[in-house]
Structure 1
Amino acid sequence: MFDRLEIFALASARAQHAAARQAVVAQNIANADTPGYRARDISSFDETWREMQMGGGPRDGLPVRTIDANGTASPNGNSVSLELEMLRGIEAQRAHSRALQVYGSAMSILRTSIGR
């Protein structure tokens, strides 16, 4: 029922996007010492949301696309910067928290409107 309301679909997709970004950040940090490893990130939420809408909506899953983070490579070819990964992790955590707040607020409004 609630998945048909746009605000719930948007909040859910935003939380999934943040979780996917956090997973990519964790993978980058885990490979910080791997020679030749290129740091990755995922496409922006706006781009992901547009692709999801074109693909028929949330039932098709979140089309998260991994991209190269375009970092400067060290002499061994590794492009992971732990400082940048920490910032990306914080951004992902904040985006996830924001999505949960939106979801919670929408639930409160819905409950108030039906008198519960």
Structure 2
Amino acid sequence: MFNRIETLRMASALTAHAENRQKLIAQNVANADTPGYRSRDLAGFADTYRSTPSTDLRTTRPGHVSGSGWGGSNRAVDSGGELAPNGNSVSVEDEMIRIAQAKKEFDLSVAITRASLSLIRTSLGRGM
């Protein structure tokens, strides 16, 4: 039922984007001293949300693949940055900024979900 509400679908996609971005940031920090490692990041959520192709597959049996999670929002791109003498492009300071941005995305998705669910409860006459 809730997957038909575009606001909740968008909030769920934003949560997944923040999660995947946080994973990449953790990999970047873990490889901060690895020679030749290139820092990676995800494209912005606004750039990827509408550009992902619709891959909703019809599932008629429990064993079928639904196709959720496919699309361009999970593609890592080189985040650039200045190369160290060993070829590494990870800057811990830049990664700290990206962590704060990913947390902000996640907090926004939670706030949107809460507000949407509160609106649904109110419309059903079960206000908070």
1:35 alignment partner, SS class: coil
* 8 Å CA contact 1:14, 1:99 repeated in 2: yes
How far 1:46 sits from its partner (Å)? Answer: 1.7
5+ unaligned residues in a row in structure 2: which ranges? 57-65
2:38 alignment partner, SS class: coil
Partner of 1:23 in structure 2? 23
61, 64, 79: which one aligns with 2:69: 61
71, 77, 80: which one aligns with 2:81: 71
2:13 alignment partner, SS class: helix
* 8 Å CA contact 1:39, 1:80 repeated in 2: yes
TM-score of the superposed pair, with normalisation by structure 2: 0.84
Richer in helix (by share)? 1
Q: Does 1:39 align with 2:49?
A: no
TM-score of the superposed pair, with normalisation by structure 1: 0.93
5+ unaligned residues in a row in structure 1: which ranges? none
Q: Distance in 2 between matches of 1:17 and 1:29?
A: 18
Partner of 2:62 in structure 1? none
For residues 10-64 of structure 1, the C-alpha deviation after alignment (integer angstroms, 9 at most, x for no partner) is 0000011011101000000000000000000011112221233x32459531531
Identity of aligned residues (%): 43
- 4+ residue runs of structure 1 moved beyond 2 angstroms? 54-60
CA radius of gyration, larger in: 2
How far 1:6 sits from its partner (Å)? Answer: 0.1
Aligned length: 115
1:79 alignment partner, SS class: coil
Q: Which residues in structure 2 correspond to 1:37-116 (within 5 Å)?
A: 37-52=37-52, 54-56=53-55, 60-63=68-71, 64-116=74-126
Q: Distance in 2 between matches of 1:55 and 1:2?
A: 18
Q: Distance in 1 between matches of 2:68 and 2:18?
A: 18
Compared CA separation, residues 7 and 62, structure 1 to 2 (3 A): farther
Q: Distance in 1 between matches of 2:70 and 2:116?
A: 21
